[in-house]
Structure 1
């Protein structure tokens, strides 16, 4: 079984701060499944490290619908990069026949169920990241670690 997974969960240093989110549960999955790492933010053209970003005005579904934006903490609009990265992750999943994706919790790309609220205050709100929203719209099951 092929599973697309956030590269940071496997120890790839692709987080916004240049670090990783190594997760032993994710790493143990490699023994049972073929894991395909992806970082939507890097795939969208953003550098590592990069300024922190949050969805302003809604969640990933609102970004996909054009009613919300992804902004960095210094006010730069990075919506297009997040959309490009989300579409790349979808393409990777579809081309590999992956029906399940494991993503990084709370991320404006990968969050599922909870994301930061767009105020850069560390406050969580209900919603999905851009990549998660796009994958769900295409019938792919998303879980987070």
Structure 2
């Protein structure tokens, strides 16, 4: 039975930067939760960041460059919080590996969990194609990452893997 790392905010926990959730309602997620397949995790909280916290965006490159120390994650007040977010990524990977997750369902747009889109690094509200640092690191280690809009694809992949 496959296990899935899931962003805590998608499960209704109020852990997003602004103190909100991003609840994703699905019968399949409810069933998976009852079957103890879900590893509910907030990388930012695991790394010691507070809720609420200032918005943060990747600047000067992409998630892979952040992980290599070649780009930064900056809060809206200009503070460099790169190390907190890199730690968050590694803690997400550890949680996934310890639970033997082959899949992750993460919140898109986040500098940590974004798997298709992130914000442009200028706090303009504009999104660009890209990954957050946790999504990038999980993928580097062979974990398939999906966002909330890809739930049907994840359900299909898990069903295939369960066979």
Q: Write the distance in 2 (CA, Å) between the matches of 1:125 and 1:65.
A: 20
1:49-86 CA-to-partner distances (Å, cap 9, x unmatched) read 00000001122111011111000000011111101111
Does 1:105 find its partner at 2:108? yes
Task: Please name the residue that 1:135 is paired with.
Answer: 138
1:64-117 CA-to-partner distances (Å, cap 9, x unmatched) read 111110000000111111011111110010011101000001111000121101
Does 1:30 find its partner at 2:33? no
Greater Rg over alpha carbons, structure = 2
Higher helix share: 2
Residue ranges of structure 1 left out of the alignment (5+ in a row):
none
Q: Write the distance in 2 (CA, Å) between the matches of 1:37 and 1:81.
A: 19
Q: Write the distance in 2 (CA, Å) between the matches of 1:17 and 1:87.
A: 23
Using structure 2 for the length normalisation, give the TM-score: 0.85
Query: Alpha-carbon deviation of 1:13?
Result: 0.6
**How many pairs does the alignment contain?**
144
Q: Write the distance in 1 (CA, Å) between the matches of 2:30 and 2:79.
A: 37
Using structure 1 for the length normalisation, give the TM-score: 0.95
Residue ranges of structure 2 left out of the alignment (5+ in a row):
149-163
Task: Please name the residue that 2:128 is paired with.
Answer: 125
Does 1:73 find its partner at 2:76? yes
Q: Secondary structure at the match of 1:71?
A: strand
Q: Write the distance in 1 (CA, Å) between the matches of 2:139 and 2:118.
A: 16
RMSD: 1.1
Query: Alpha-carbon deviation of 1:30?
Result: 3.1
